Structure 1
């Protein structure tokens, strides 16, 4: 991260996502304004289907941050109530029922989020690599936010192993960041620097690169010339995408 100055040129105006069918990036929100449907294809509660739901949630959040109206759907045949309950536990936005889709009013784009090898009809296919847990067939929900962070920490096209070490690392990172955010909140608020805002938006609008968003936050944490009030606003802004409740512990410090 460079010294802060005038805001850099920022040409990346909309979210671009790779279509797994072609390998080419496409606009998730077309220039013609209209509704974007995000459709999660998931059956049965497994670490992999949970990853599908989480990526769908990130797409919804990123599109809404860019001002695009979104219609979020869940389709599948097995364990839908369990999947919806798991989604609520992870802070995933509620899904509508995808049993009778039709076409949304003014719909301009459809993003299908599915596991590798799934071939929904039409639209853009956003593929998700497998996730596995070495100790159980279903994810560990004892700390949902840590589970969410563990899944967010890896590119979506690479497999994830949700072992005890990965979850413990995520718990430690969350505890540290929440404590830091609560501490920074005690200082006068300062705006998110233009350069930092551009770095964050470039990361998530460039094929939803969430690991890069996390790396930006780590750099912001240790940047020596940045006021603590600006660190707080940066983390709160990024959490609108991440959904990790990073401001949860504000007011808890003695």
Structure 2
């Protein structure tokens, strides 16, 4: 079960306290910049992790005057659409509300997840960047650690994506094999422990180079992890070798 540290108390809480009870995740992003996109990205990860655990989720955006630009930027990063908070009330069967906010931002009562700021070389969030590489660069540090986005960080993320997509396409040509139990357990344990996405990325790096794993198991591991990460790692399936 996914547990999140409530920034108000510093205590881990169940993100879904009631079985099959609705969890509402509210993203608070008053403007349009890379920090706001990181808030929406953490919201997206929370929604994906909860859904993978079988929890119904309702994702809502509290935005400001730049909401159309923010939504367009979020879509480019593969962030699922969020409902407008001005048009919704309390959800039927709602058992938990989680607020995702950049450090220093205010929220109503409820579980609070804070996101560290982004220090970007360019003030324009998507200026010339591969959006999926930007997504990976924002995912690489823990959400409570600031992100420094520069040419080196985006290049490294882009190169990792190219390598992983090429590897996944090659592994897919081999017979499928199940994800080893210990790998699945470690992966789920990472993202259910306060949404430790860097732990998932470190596991994928080990799976990539583990000589004892069959290629079919590598493929299934990456495809499963991508249900959380949203990096389109299977994009190159069927492409010429």
Q: Does 1:179 align with 2:166?
A: yes
Aligned residue among 135, 152, 176 for 2:122? 135
Residue by residue over 1:158-179, the C-alpha shift from the partner in whole angstroms, topping out at 9 and shown as x without a partner, is 1101111000000000000000
Q: Does 1:235 align with 2:226?
A: no
Match of 1:91 in 2: 78
Aligned residue among 123, 132, 139 for 1:145? 132
Deviation at 1:139? Answer: 3.5
Deviation at 1:197? Answer: 0.4
Structure 2 CA distance for aligned equivalents of residues 114 and 160 of structure 1: 15
Within a 5 Å distance, the mapping from 1:28-67 to structure 2 comes to 28-67=15-54
Moved more, 148-157 or 131-140: 131-140
Structure 2 CA distance for aligned equivalents of residues 32 and 191 of structure 1: 28
Deviation at 1:141? Answer: 5.5
Counterpart contact for 1:32–1:108, Cα < 8 Å: no
Deviation at 1:32? Answer: 4.3
Q: Does 1:124 align with 2:91?
A: no
Match of 1:21 in 2: 8
Deviation at 1:137? Answer: 4.1
Q: Does 1:113 align with 2:100?
A: yes
Helix, strand or coil for the counterpart of 2:144?
coil
Deviation at 1:123? Answer: 1.3
Helix, strand or coil for the counterpart of 2:78?
coil
Counterpart contact for 1:141–1:147, Cα < 8 Å: no
Counterpart contact for 2:22–2:56, Cα < 8 Å: yes
Counterpart contact for 1:38–1:73, Cα < 8 Å: yes
Q: Does 1:213 align with 2:187?
A: no
Match of 1:251 in 2: 238
Counterpart contact for 1:17–1:206, Cα < 8 Å: yes
Structure 1 CA distance for aligned equivalents of residues 111 and 119 of structure 2: 25
Deviation at 1:102? Answer: 2.4
Counterpart contact for 2:45–2:228, Cα < 8 Å: yes
Structure 1: state its 5+ residue gaps.
1-13
TM-score (norm 1): 0.92
Deviation at 1:117? Answer: 1.4
Structure 1 CA distance for aligned equivalents of residues 45 and 122 of structure 2: 27
Structure 1 CA distance for aligned equivalents of residues 115 and 153 of structure 2: 19
Over 3 Å counting, the alpha-carbon distance change for 1:37 and 1:141 in structure 2 is farther
Aligned residue among 223, 226, 246 for 2:213? 226
Helix, strand or coil for the counterpart of 2:152?
helix
Moved more, 34-43 or 99-108: 99-108
RMSD: 1.1
Match of 1:5 in 2: none
Counterpart contact for 1:64–1:70, Cα < 8 Å: yes
Structure 2 CA distance for aligned equivalents of residues 170 and 253 of structure 1: 23
Structure 2 CA distance for aligned equivalents of residues 225 and 115 of structure 1: 42
Q: Which consecutive segments of 4 or more residues in structure 1 shift more than 6 A?
A: none
Number of positions where the alignment pairs a residue of Structure 1 with one of Structure 2 = 241
